[in-house]
């Protein structure tokens, strides 16, 4: 921040210091009356300014402790102690400045994320490169990204592979190598030579803009816990007035009331709590987790039960075709028919099948009259014949299978053409290496039961559950079944972790929903309360530990602010602390409490830390849940 901007932002503090200097000069030259009028007029103007804001808050149903600051200013003025009144004003204004500074400090990671949003793109047109607003880019445009520049839109990498810095998206500090054809997400930084991308979407629909909107929503939130601090203000204010009145009545000295009120203005009660929550969200963002509000932080800190989807959550969600089994030996027909149908689906299995068909160079016929039954499969017309792909009960419920049963950890997409079963595609998926440590870590925090909810078969689900340490398995579920079961889980609050479109309803219905959004699962990300932007399930454990720490720090800040202020009030009621000294001591309380809240911005390591995804052994698991 430049000096000019700092002067403007904190102009009331500088004005107060200037008024204090003028008052001191007048007093030194024997103009005591003029000094009193200058100081008194100024502090009453500030009191009126605060009173206007206080009245506006009261009309909205919010009771703040600023009422005590206003009362302290009026009381010290009434007693003729204009120096104490000036110190109270300085304390009040510096409290606001501390709130602003602490808020800006806590927003640092969030603001950095938003400030890096690209605004200009280099579009290639007829061999020339033209700078255009990023919003002018449409799918299919060729976009040049120079070394050190931020990728403006999601795009497929052309030419040779290149290295990219994805730290602003994933939190990974080291550059990563991406091969040609890989979809580079907007917001990453080109760490190599000049590269060219083919835009696959507009800037508004790109990954980075989605993240920015999530961050903006998070930054503008106010937690229910913060409203708790507002409610604490009511008994605290009444208590302060009672202590001050009793001190006046017992001692017969009205100055005691002013001295009590001066030390009874704990700005931290209203400042430190939101600062702790904003700092916590900032810390989470730095670790690749966007939390959509302080209320989510509070709920996460209280979670008692956890539920996990399987595919793309406990497993990597990147299924690979293990084998194709055909009734008549024509494997290519099975794959081509499935690819024609699955090209209209967003399921991870569909993507694997379509990609496999493309790799084999199959001429896939476009399917007509496509329809999808959620969590079951696809129907349509392929080559003039009715076709279906998906679960056996959906595709061919009465067909005899000429193949052996699937092994545990395998999943199959069955395919029919002309109402006859023609084959199945068997796929496998890997359990995330971080899944077992995450489950163990949550259980160590006292979160139990931990449940798996999946649409996959019981055998496959049990295999994955055994690998990650989950005992309670609910398999063969439709989205509606998941919704009902999450509603019945206890004790509450319930945490639900998922990734796909079919998880969107249950993520929205859970007390806290966390989406594995690294692959851009928009529906899940929008309905969830928090979004993990990296392929690391361990961030679930991290954010729960972080939430508990943030709430603990917020409670500590409230206790510290109230406790120190009560001690100062009691001492002030005995006439030991002059009003001007009390005001200075209260300023120390402000700084201590806000400094305590800012500890929430520091990252922490969970007691059971998940290992890196790439370091764990392979394990086969299904990919249809």
For residues 211 and 217, give the distance between their C-alpha atoms in angstroms, rounded to a whole number.
10
For residues 617 and 612, give the distance between their C-alpha atoms in angstroms, rounded to a whole number.
11
Look at strands 320-326 and 155-157 and give their pairing.
Answer: unpaired
Structure token pair of residue 308 = 């996990």
For residues 508 and 525, give the distance between their C-alpha atoms in angstroms, rounded to a whole number.
10
Q: Residue 284 in contact with residue 473, Cβ under 8 Å?
A: no
For residues 344 and 321, give the distance between their C-alpha atoms in angstroms, rounded to a whole number.
19
66 is catalytic: no
The radius of gyration of the chain's CA atoms, rounded to the nearest angstrom, is 31
Which residues, in sequence order, are CB contacts of 21 under 8 Å at separation 6+? none
Q: Could you say which of 309, 429, 511, 590 is catalytic? A: 309
Taking residue 459's Cβ as centre, other Cβ atoms within 10 Å add up to 15
Taking residue 180's Cβ as centre, other Cβ atoms within 10 Å add up to 12
Taking residue 589's Cβ as centre, other Cβ atoms within 10 Å add up to 24
Distances (CA, A) of 309 to 264, 455, 499, 622: 51, 9, 8, 12
In the block, tokens 């798996």 appear at 452
DSSP 600: G
Does the bond joining 239 to the residue before it have cis omega, within 30 degrees of 0?
no
Q: Which spans in 451-599 are helix H?
A: 458-468, 479-488, 504-509, 522-527, 538-573, 579-597
Q: Active-site positions?
A: 309
């Amino acid at each position: 921040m430049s000096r000019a901007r700092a002067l403007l932002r904190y102009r009331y503090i500088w004005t107060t210091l200037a008024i204090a200097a003028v008052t001191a000069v007048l007093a030194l030259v024997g103009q005591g009356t003029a000094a009193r009028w200058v100081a008194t007029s100024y502090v009453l103007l500030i009191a009126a300014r605060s009173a206007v804001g206080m009245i506006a808050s009261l009309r909205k149903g919010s009771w703040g402790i600023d009422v005590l600051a206003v009362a302290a200013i009026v009381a010290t003025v009434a007693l003729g102690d204009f120096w104490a009144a000036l110190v109270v004003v300085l304390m009040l204004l510096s409290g606001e400045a501390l709130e602003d500074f602490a808020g800006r400090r806590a927003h640092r990671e969030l603001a950095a994320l938003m400030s890096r949003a690209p605004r200009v793109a280099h579009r290639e047109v007829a061999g020339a490169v033209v700078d255009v607003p990023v919003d002018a880019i449409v799918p299919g445009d060729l976009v040049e990204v120079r070394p050190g520049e931020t990728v403006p839109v999601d795009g497929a990498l052309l030419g040779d592979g290149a290295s990219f810095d994805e730290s602003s998206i994933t939190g990974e500090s080291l550059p990563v190598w991406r091969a040609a054809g890989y979809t580079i997400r907007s917001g990453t930084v080109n760490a190599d030579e000049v590269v060219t991308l083919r835009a696959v979407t507009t800037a508004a629909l790109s990954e980075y803009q989605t993240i920015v909107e999530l961050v903006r929503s998070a930054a503008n939130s106010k937690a229910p816990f913060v409203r708790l601090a507002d409610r604490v203000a009511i008994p605290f204010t009444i208590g302060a007035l009672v202590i001050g009145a009793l001190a006046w009545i017992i001692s017969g000295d009205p100055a005691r009331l002013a001295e009590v009120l001066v030390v009874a203005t704990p700005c931290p009660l209203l400042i430190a709590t939101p600062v702790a929550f904003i700092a916590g969200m900032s810390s989470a963002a730095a670790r690749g987790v966007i939390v959509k509000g302080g209320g989510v932080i509070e709920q996460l800190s209280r979670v008692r039960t956890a539920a996990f989807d399987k595919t793309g959550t406990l497993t990597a969600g990147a299924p690979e075709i293990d084998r194709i089994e055909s009734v008549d030996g024509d494997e290519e027909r099975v794959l081509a028919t499935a690819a024609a149908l699955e090209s209209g689906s967003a399921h991870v299995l569909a993507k694997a099948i379509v990609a496999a068909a493309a790799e084999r160079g199959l001429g896939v016929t476009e399917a007509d009259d496509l329809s999808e039954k959620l969590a079951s499969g696809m129907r349509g017309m392929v080559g003039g014949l009715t076709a279906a792909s998906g679960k056996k009960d959906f595709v061919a419920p009465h067909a005899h299978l000429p193949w052996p049963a699937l092994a545990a950890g395998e999943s199959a997409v069955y395919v029919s053409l002309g109402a006859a079963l023609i084959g199945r595609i068997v796929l496998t998926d890997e359990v995330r290496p971080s899944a077992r440590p995450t489950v163990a870590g949550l259980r160590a925090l006292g979160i139990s039961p931990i449940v798996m909810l999946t649409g996959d078969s019981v055998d496959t689900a049990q295999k994955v559950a055994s690998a990650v340490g989950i005992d309670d398995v609910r398999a063969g579920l439709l989205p509606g079944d998941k919704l009902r079961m999450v509603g019945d889980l206890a004790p509450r609050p319930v945490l639900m972790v998922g990734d796909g479109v079919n998880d969107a309803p249950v993520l929205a219905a859970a007390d806290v929903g966390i989406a594995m959004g690294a692959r851009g699962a928009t529906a899940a990300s929008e309905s969830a309360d928090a979004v993990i932007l990296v392929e690391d399930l361990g961030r679930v454990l991290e954010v729960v530990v972080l939430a508990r720490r943030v709430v603990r720090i917020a409670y500590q800040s409230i206790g510290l602010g109230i406790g120190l202020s009560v001690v100062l009030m009691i001492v002030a009621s005995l006439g030991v602390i002059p009003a001007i000294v009390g005001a200075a001591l209260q300023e120390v309380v402000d700084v201590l409490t806000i400094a305590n809240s800012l500890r929430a911005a520091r990252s922490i390591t969970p007691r059971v830390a998940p290992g890196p995804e790439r370091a764990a052994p392979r394990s086969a698991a299904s990919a249809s849940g």
